[in-house]
Chains A and B, each alone.
Chain A
Amino acid sequence: MRTVLFVAVGLLLGAIVATFLGLRGGAPWEEAVLLGLPLGFIQAALCLAARFPARAAPLAPGNVMRIAATHLSAAVVSTGGWILAGFALSQLLERFPGNTGAFMRFQQEAPSLAVTGVLIFLLAVTAHYLVIALETAREAEVRVLSARMLAREAELRALRAQVDPHFLFNCLNSIATLTAEDPGGARRMCLQLAGFLRRSLALGQQDHIALGEELALAGEYLAIEAIRFGSRLTFIESVEDGCRDCPVPPLLLQPVVENAVRHGIAQVLEGGTIRIDARRESGGVTVTVDNPRDPERPAGRGTGVGLENVRGRLRALHGERAGVAMTSTQSLVTVRLFIPWAGEAAAVGSGGGGSHGSL
Chain B
Amino acid sequence: MAPFEPLRVLIVDDEELARRGLRRDLAADPAIEVLAECPDGFEAVRAATELKPDVVLLDIQMPRLDGFEVLELLDPGIAVIFVTAHDDQAVRAFEVNAVDYLLKPVDPERLRHALERARERRRRREPMPVEALSAASRPAGSPLGRILVRDGAQVHVLPVETIDYIEAQDDYIAVHAAGRSHLKQQTIAALEALLDASRFVRIHRSYILNLDRLARIELMAKDTRVVILRDGTRLPLSRSGHARLRAML
Contacts and interface: CB of A to CB of B under 8 A. Distances in A.
Interface of A: 166, 169-170, 172-178, 180-181, 227-230, 262, 266-269, 294, 296, 298
Contacts of B157: 296
B40 A269 contact: yes
The 9 A-B residue pairs with the shortest CB-CB distance, nearest first, are: A177-B21, A173-B104, A169-B85, A176-B105, A173-B105, A269-B63, A172-B105, A166-B85, A170-B85
A230 B16 contact: yes
B39 interface: yes
Contact of B63 (A178, A181, A268): A268
Contacts of B18: 170, 173-174, 177
A173 B22 CA distance: 10
A180 B17 CA distance: 11
Contacts, number: 61
B85 A269 contact: no
A228 B24 CA distance: 17
A266 B13 CA distance: 11
A173 B21 contact: yes
B104 A266 contact: no
B20 A181 contact: yes
A166 B86 contact: yes
Interface of B: 14-18, 20-21, 24, 39-40, 61, 63-64, 85-86, 103-106, 145, 157, 159
A170 B106 CA distance: 10
B64 A269 contact: yes
Nearest to A174: B17
Nearest to A266: B61
Given A172-B105, A267-B63, A267-B64, 7 more contacts: A173-B18, A173-B104, A181-B24, A228-B17, A230-B15, A262-B61, A269-B40
Nearest to A230: B16
Contact of B14 (A174, A178, A266): A266
A176 B61 contact: no
Contacts of B21: 173, 176-177, 180
B17 A177 contact: yes
A31 B217 CA distance: 88
Given A169-B104, A177-B24, A228-B15, A294 B64 contact: yes
A166 B14 CA distance: 15
Given A170-B104, A268-B63, A294-B63, A180 B85 contact: no
11 contacts: A169-B103, A173-B17, A174-B18, A176-B106, A180-B24, A181-B24, A230-B15, A269-B39, A269-B63, A269-B64, A296-B159
The listed residue with most A CB atoms (<10 A of its CB), out of B18, B40, B85, is B85
B40 to A, nearest CB: 5
Given A169-B103, A228-B15, A229-B15, A177 B20 contact: yes
A174 B21 CA distance: 8
Contacts of B61: 262, 266
B225 to A, nearest CB: 36
A169 B15 contact: no
Contacts of B63: 266-269, 294
A38 B106 CA distance: 88
Contacts of B103: 169
A269 B15 CA distance: 9
Contacts of A228: 15, 17
Nearest to B88: A166
A176 B21 CA distance: 8
Contacts of A178: 17
Contacts of A229: 15
Contacts of A166: 85-86
Nearest to B157: A296
A302 to B, nearest CB: 11
B14 to A, nearest CB: 6
Nearest to B22: A177
Contacts of B14: 266, 269
A174 B13 CA distance: 12
A174 B20 CA distance: 10
A230 B39 contact: no
A314 B39 CA distance: 38
A16 to B, nearest CB: 69
B136 to A, nearest CB: 20
A120 to B, nearest CB: 65
Contacts of B159: 296
